[in-house]
Structure 1
Amino acid sequence: MIGRLQGILLSKQPPEILLDVNGVGYEVQLPMTSFYALPAVGQQATVFTHFVVREDAQLLYGFIDVNERALFRELIKANGVGPKLGLTILSGMSAAQFMQCVRFEDVSGLVKLPGVGKKTAERLVVELKDRLAKLELTAGAVDDSGIVLSPIEGDARVPLNDAKEEAVSALVALGYKPAQASKAVNGIYQENMTSEALIRESLRSMI
């Protein structure tokens, strides 16, 4: 089991990064809430990981802190929730926001996430309410909407003319339909916005 990686951040292609650990490059997929908190390309980064082995692939999912990883692990135990949907859920809202939705049985808030229908949302509330009550999440750097902020806000290392395309691609990878992703990105785009800022604001607009 690979539980933690520390190395040099070689590339950031939301929602995936390439991390150089002693000469070995690890491809790791992160929820966008963790992605925003990554340092700049070329700097050292630490991610807590969850390793998934399938017949056709071996996948690493990464998280900025152990609390978010713990929530991800509880999520994928729920009936009908796989790692991809778990990643999508934690990209659309912070761990604290998700736990609040479950605690207050806010099904309407959960169904706004791609891939989460009413039955899935109701099942998440029923299956996770007691389990999540036992999790203790430490306070992170969040803004007034509960979205984790990056300590290097705006440094996406992506040419500005590619920012919209990368933002749309990231949203599609997270489960949003191409037309929906394009509409969201175009709706909030302003000149000089980075891809990470576009993704964050687009996710906010759809929740």
Structure 2
Amino acid sequence: MIYSLKGTLRVSEPNFVVVDVGGVGFGVKTTLTTLSRLPSIGEEVFLYTYLNVREDAMDLYGFSEQSELACYRMLIGVNGVGPKAALSILSDHTPEQFALCVASGDAKSLTRSAGVGLKTAQRIVLELKDKVSKEQVADGVTGRMAPASAGIATGNAAEAISALVVLGYAQSEAAAFIASMDPSASVEDMIKAGLKGLAGNL
């Protein structure tokens, strides 16, 4: 298993880069989201990776953030979603946007990615959303919010925690972190803060 790569960026093309590690060039398929965060050619780069082994090929996929790698692994675990479709979705959606689509049941947004039809998008939402119940998530923050704000805040908090769980974080950790935030924050802002605050807990 190749967990990560750290080396010099030699080639950068749409959805593909080459990282020179000790004189060996690793060809890595990646997303447009990760490409937008990479340094210039000739500079040092670090990527979290996933090695996909098939009978006729071994393909290496790289991501700038652990949360994006987590999304990729979950996507290819969904029946009917291959590596190409997973990269397409993550090229059009950041990890927090993707998690929010799943948590809120927004399959339509996923169909904007090339190669992703409505049935596939609905399957993604159904299979991944089943990993966590909004009712259970809401229970995790009940009592932590001030009574005056519980009505609205619990809804936003539940969505944010559900999205973080979709990304692979423990429900208890996500609930504790989100409960400490400003309850008037938007769902997406909560998710972004959660990704930063819980980094390294995957």
Alignment of 1:188-207 (within 5 A): none
Please tell me the root mean square deviation across aligned C-alpha atoms, in Å. Answer: 2.2
**3-state DSSP of counterpart to 2:25:** strand
What is the alpha-carbon distance in structure 1 between the residues aligned to residue 24 and residue 107 of structure 2? 42
Match of 2:85 in 1: 85
Higher relative contact order (CA 8 A, sep 6+): 1
Letter in 1 for 2:128: L
Q: Which amino acid aligns with 2:75?
A: L
Identical pairs, percent: 42
Is 1:124 aligned with 2:157? no
Shift of 1:130: 3.5
CA distance in 1, matches of 2:113, 2:10: 30
Residue matched to 1:11 = 11
Distance in 1 separating the partners of 2:71 and 2:39: 23
What is the CA–CA distance in structure 1 between the aligned matches of 2:101 and 2:31, rounded to whole Å? 18
C-alpha deviation, 1:92, in angstroms:
1.2
Name 2:102's counterpart in structure 1. 102
CA offset at residue 121 of structure 1?
1.1
Counterpart of 1:131 in 2: which secondary structure? coil
> Which residue number in structure 1 is paired with residue 115 of structure 2?
115
For structure 1, the residue ranges without an aligned partner over 5 or more in a row are 138-144, 147-207
Report the TM-score when normalising by structure 1: 0.64
Deviations 1:28-78, CA, capped at 9 Å, x for gaps: 011111110000000000000000111221100000011110111011100
How many Å separate the matches in 1 of 2:70 and 2:88? Answer: 15
Paired AA for residue 81 in structure 1 = V
1:13-32 map, 5 Å? 13-32=13-32
Work out the CA distance in 2 between the residues paired with 1:66 and 1:83: 17
CA distance in 2, matches of 1:63, 1:15: 11
Whichever residue aligns with residue 18 of structure 1, its letter is: V
In structure 2, stretches of 5+ residues that fail to align are: 133-161, 175-187, 190-202
Alpha-carbon distance in structure 2 between the residues aligned to 1:116 and 1:13: 22
- SS of 1:114's partner is coil
Structure with bigger gyration radius: 2
Q: CA deviation at 1:131?
A: 3.3
Greater helix percent: which structure?
Answer: 2
User: Distance in 1 between the 2:107 and 2:4 partners?
Assistant: 33
The separation in 1 between residues aligned to 2:85 and 2:107, in whole angstroms, is 16
SS of aligned partner of 1:12? strand
Could you tell me how far 1:7 is from its partner in structure 2?
0.3
User: CA offset at residue 128 of structure 1?
Assistant: 0.5
1:59 matched residue in structure 2: 59
2:131 and 2:64 map into 1 onto residues whose CA distance is: 21
Alignment partners' CA distance in 2, 1:39 and 1:89: 23
